[in-house]
Amino acid sequence: MNMAPALIEDLDFDREILEQGELISDKLNMLRLEQYPPNALKRLRQFSSAEVADFLGVTQNHIKKLHLEGKGPEPQVSGSGRRSYTAEQMMELRQYLDKHGRSDFKKYVPQRRRGEDLQVISVVNFKGGSGKTTTAAHLAQYLALTGHRVLAVDLDPQASLTALHGIQPELDRNLSLYEALRYDDERKSIKELIRPTNFPGLDIVPANLELQEYEYETPLAASGRHQPEGKLFFTRISQALKEVDDRYDVVVIDCPPQLGYLTLTSLSASTAVVITVHPQMLDVMSMSQFLLMLGGILESIKAAGASVKLKWFRYLVTRYEPTDQPQAQMVGFLQALFNKRMLTHQMLKSTAISDAGITKQTLYEVEKSQFTRSTYERALESLNAVNGEIASLIHSAWGRK
């Protein structure tokens, strides 16, 4: 065999990976600067009156009538007479309907009322690519579009949810939730970390690589260097959220694909959990490992005083292709096993979702005209069914019918 020792003689791995990391980062920054200039705040498109009717739960005729009678916000009207509204105007319409509507029982602005607690939903699974970020982003945006006050928290150092909201983790110098979790005197209030998004009613706490520090510092803190609060790692997110409890109805947390301290702390702060699962053998096997490990860890942190008190948890089938026999069988298998813990609706696999992702957009942001009508409609229908089901669970947790 032909050995080539000369090639490895001068290898200084540490230095070289650092240099190469910097090289990639610089080049990527240049690319991104060209494609997305800094401070170019993302804008949100208009919503057609059909979409508005859907989000509000009224008929299109109702909306048309309001406009013709000069009531509520003034939509944009196209040459062919089509009405469209901004997301802000959709909220104004809700407020108008609550004020002037005939119905006493239906509330169009669904925000928390007295006695209803802040709902904190973690989207988890340590399997990479199981659809956590896609689920979290669309759920948070759906809840905002349906009138809730929402805080999205990106807890993944890879910062995909952050990037999806037009914030560039490296260029924009954001602070991440790490600043509110850290164990030293530099700890900041979560209020300083929250940023608005292009969706009215939706704010975000961005992520960056610094979040990873929490994984290293937590065991050190627990071993005594930062007593006494170091021991209470699992309450750090709930403590941080307490400061903004009155500003939001729902918090959606996108967890990293690891079962580390970030995920555990998020679970301890949660009132509900969505476990995303792609219905394929390897993914389901990996999920079973995840459940076993998680169960074991939760038991041991419970002994240390942590409590995970959930109102509900559900498995969500993601990227589902119902025409693929093995996948359909796997979904049947999961339904038989987990039964009422499965969301009844699945998130279908769609090029509309993955293509939108390429330009850092969600299905709620892209222009419908970019896609074949049926492709877009099918994806949106599945997405709204999933999100609508989760919204119902939230409302049930508040004790609403």
Ligand X SMILES: Nc1ncnc2c1ncn2[C@@H]1O[C@H](COP(=O)(O)OP(=O)(O)OP(=O)(O)O)[C@@H](O)[C@H]1O
Burial 248-260 (b: 16+ CB within 10 A, else e): bbbbbbbbbbebb
Q: How far is the CB of 284 from ligand X (least distance, A)?
A: 14
Whether the CA torsion 229, 231, 235, 237 is positive or negative: it is positive
Which is it for strands 76-77 and 83-85: parallel, antiparallel or unpaired? Answer: antiparallel
> What is the rounded distance in angstroms from the CA atom of residue 98 to the CA atom of residue 114?
17
Interacting residue with Mg ion among 132, 165, 314, 345 (CB under 5 A)? 132
- Interface with ligand X, residue 345, by CB under 6 A: no
Q: How far is the CB of 271 from Mg ion (least distance, A)?
A: 21
Residues contacting 374, CB < 8 A, separation 6+: none
> What is the SS3 string spanning 319-337?
CECCCCHHHHHHHHHHHHH
281 neighbors 326 (Cβ within 8 angstroms): yes
Whether the CA torsion 261, 263, 266, 267 is positive or negative: it is negative
Instruction: Give the range of 172-180, 204-212, 305-313, 347-355 binding ligand X by CB under 6 A.
Output: 347-355
> Of 160 and 168, which has the nearer Cβ to Mg ion?
160
Whether the CA torsion 231, 237, 243, 246 is positive or negative: it is negative
- Interface with ligand X, residue 133, by CB under 6 A: yes
Instruction: Give the range of 26-34, 197-205, 291-299, 344-352 binding ligand X by CB under 6 A.
Output: 344-352
Catalogue the long-range contacts made by 94-98 (C-beta closer than 8 Å, 24 or more residues apart). Answer: 94/56, 94/147, 96/66, 96/71, 96/72, 97/56, 97/58, 97/72
Interacting residue with Mg ion among 49, 133, 265, 271 (CB under 5 A)? 133
- Interface with ligand X, residue 182, by CB under 6 A: no
> Of 249 and 254, which has the nearer Cβ to Mg ion?
254
- Interface with ligand X, residue 59, by CB under 6 A: no
- Interface with ligand X, residue 278, by CB under 6 A: no
- Binding site partner of 200, from Mg ion, ligand X, none, Cβ cut-off 5-8 A by kind: none
- Interface with ligand X, residue 118, by CB under 6 A: no
Instruction: Give the range of 5-13, 22-30, 301-309, 353-361 binding ligand X by CB under 6 A.
Output: 353-361
- Binding site partner of 318, from ligand X, Mg ion, none, Cβ cut-off 5-8 A by kind: ligand X
- Interface with Mg ion, residue 162, by CB under 5 A: no
> What is the rounded distance in angstroms from the CA atom of residue 372 to the CA atom of residue 374?
6
- Interface with Mg ion, residue 125, by CB under 5 A: no
Instruction: Give the range of 131-139, 177-185, 220-228, 279-287 binding ligand X by CB under 6 A.
Output: 131-139
Instruction: Give the range of 84-92, 125-133, 141-149, 390-398 binding Mg ion by CB under 5 A.
Output: 125-133
> What is the SS3 string spanning 207-251?
CCHHHHHHHHHHHHHHHHHCCCHHHHHHHHHHHHHHCCHHHCCEE
> Of 183 and 313, which has the nearer Cβ to ligand X?
313
Q: Which residues bind ligand X (CB under 6 A)?
A: 128-134, 156, 160, 257, 318-319, 347, 349-350, 353-354, 357
Q: Which residues bind Mg ion (CB under 5 A)?
A: 132-133, 160
